[in-house]
Amino acid sequence: MTAKVVNLPIKIELVCSGCGAAGQGSCHCDAPYVRPSKRAEAAIIANPMKSDRAIASAIGVGSNTVLRARQKTTAPSGAVRRTGKDGKTRKIPTREPQPIATREAQPIAADAPLETRVNTMVRDLDNAISPWVEDAEKWVASHGNELANEKNELGHTGKQCLAQALHAWADRLLRLAQAVDGR
């Protein structure tokens, strides 16, 4: 019996944090290897005024990797302009916030099977809540420092109002879940 060895391509390009060697264990300096997303995050923090493509070119990763890292990074982004690969400074494009995609709940036929009615309710609940929660999580992540600061424009009472509304909805959903569970 003979075994066939199949060489699979390496999907993630790791780089040694010590000597900069690329690959999977191709150096012997015993320094840890770093994922492209972590390299991108570090580069964004070090150079927040550089464009995604300029950073990607400098560290040898794709611009989409840098874009995703920039979206995750909570680095202060008060910048209005960024420097591109060509050295020119350009205005950062701004996007209008997209409205939360809502869909009218479909009426459930009274004679529909229970499983169909439950699945429809779960789908409608998910379609209504998930986009809002995702938007809210992004907003809180990007404004976390402002929310923590007592002297922000929202003020202490504004933060309390937002927190109370979130707790009230969570409480209503919890009571509904308990009623479904029979508690």
pLDDT (tens digit per residue) in 100-129:
555 565 677 778 888 887 888 888 777 778
Q: What is the pTM of this model?
A: 0.43
Alpha helices in 83-113 (DSSP H): none
Alpha-carbon distance 148 to 159, whole Å?
9
With vertex at residue 133, the alpha carbon angle to CA 106 and CA 139, rounded to the nearest 5 degrees, is 140
pLDDT, mean of residues 136-147: 72
Which residues lie closer than 8 Å to 3 by C-beta, 6 or more apart?
A: none
User: Beta-carbon neighbour count of residue 15 at 10 Å?
Assistant: 20
pLDDT, tens only, 66-88: 888 888 875 555 667 888 888 88
Element holding 17 (H helix, E strand): none
In contact, 100 and 135? CB cutoff 8 Å: yes
Domain ranges of the chain: 15-91, 114-181
